[in-house]
Amino acid sequence: MAQYRSAPGIRGNVTLLVLAEIGAMSLWFVSAAILPELTREVSLAPWRAGLLSTAVQIGFVLGALVLAVHGTSDRFDPRRVFAICALIAALSTLVLTVLPVGSLSQIVARAITGFCLAGVYPVGMKIAVGWTLRRRGLIVGILVGALTLGSAAPHGLALMGGTDWRVTVILAAGLSAVGAGLVLFMRLGPHHAIASAGFDASALMLAWRSRPVRLAFAGYLCHMWELYAFWAWIAAALAASFHLSGLADPEHAARLVAFFAIALGGAFCVPAGAMADRIGKARVAGGCMALSGAFAIATALSFGGPAWITAAVAILWGIAVIPDSAQFSALVADSAPSDRAGSLMTFQTALGFLLTAFTIQLSPILAQAFGWPIVLAAFGIGPLIGVEAMRRLAHLRRTSPDR
């Protein structure tokens, strides 16, 4: 932690950033958290329900590419970019309360939210890494933990909102507005980069030509295969399982378990980041994916059985599913030329979130056709394949440390 002590104000400023990140990212899975109430109010087909979450992913991809090509966070104060995007995202979420449930206008509003969140999460990362050089694995882990806690927040807010889904939406929008205000009170770090080469399309061929970058991309895509689908649909899957188990209030129990599963995963991002700085990013990422894939299959096998077993395994899955996330971008940054790393990380993120749009949209449709156990087991395929990519990358970095 020496790097923390050498940068005056890092704790207070990063704390403000973390709180702002949690507030703004609480908007991401609002539609998934309130889905039971929405479907009771208006009968939603599985594909329509999926679109309310998929639209956020598509919006995020478009926003990330537009902001990267424009170089927005390099041209302007990133704190203001973060604040404006968080505030617009809050407003686009708030309008859900007055739009027809499941309508095209609600789907467009969710896409606008996703577009604006591209000015929150990646920009927050840029602000965070300006505070340290040597402990970036740790500090990126802290920000991913904040992202995860924010993603868990809608399930907690839904418990507070009760049967009125509009209360949940208003609370989430309020948290994002508070986050927009908090980020304006922090300072930029001593290593903040005020200039960047921006998005370089010619760099994208390195994603295939460079073996270390290619393996880092492969691991990230295998990770994203399950991550956002898990976050979006674990509450719905648990509710179905708990109903078969005979629980009196399966939806309430599912939300509670989903909240803890996602939130505890965020808490483990910090020690995982510190461990990655010590023993290697590829080793930590591979270990997390092995556990995550195993718990995905275990959750599928426990489906409909004793509720406490399914809940326990799902929480363990939630703990394992996210701590590796920060390390894939760091692996690209380590393996790519410094003037190409930003473009490659943008491309990596865009590919990953496009994949999540596919898995999120298909999950409820496949669940209706084949059942949630099949879908949950399929979630585990990605990380188990990713283990091999990380094994090869760890071996490559060990035998050729300059690559």
| Residue range 65-92: mean pLDDT, rounded | 87
Is 107 buried (19+), middle (13-18) or exposed (0-12) by CB count in 10 A?
Answer: buried
DSSP 24-90: HHTTTTHHHHTHHHHHHHS---HHHHHHHHHHHHHHHHHHHHHHHHHTHHHHS-HHHHHHHHHHHHH
- Indicate if 199-403 has the same CATH topology as 1-189: yes
Task: Report the alpha-carbon distance of residue 65 to residue 84 in Å, rounded.
Answer: 18
53: nearest Cα among 33, 36, 23: 33
Task: Report the alpha-carbon distance of residue 381 to residue 141 in Å, rounded.
Answer: 24
pLDDT top residue among 302 and 346? 302
The model's pLDDT over 295-344, given as tens digits with 9 standing for 90+, comes to: 999 999 999 999 999 999 999 999 999 999 888 877 887 787 766 766 77
Q: What is the CATH number of domain 1-189?
A: 1.20.1250.20
Superfamily covering domain 199-403: MFS general substrate transporter like domains (1.20.1250.20)
pLDDT of residue 198: 57
Task: Report the alpha-carbon distance of residue 56 to residue 77 in Å, rounded.
Answer: 25
pTM listed for this prediction: 0.83
Distances (CA, A) of 210 to 142, 203, 332, 393: 29, 11, 10, 12
pLDDT of residue 8: 56
Say what percent of the chain tops pLDDT 70. 92
Q: Where are the domains of the chain?
A: 1-189, 199-403
How does residue 187 score in pLDDT terms, banded at 50, 70 and 90? confident
304: nearest Cα among 246, 236, 227, 258: 246
| Residue range 372-383: mean pLDDT, rounded | 96
365: nearest Cα among 54, 93, 109, 27: 54
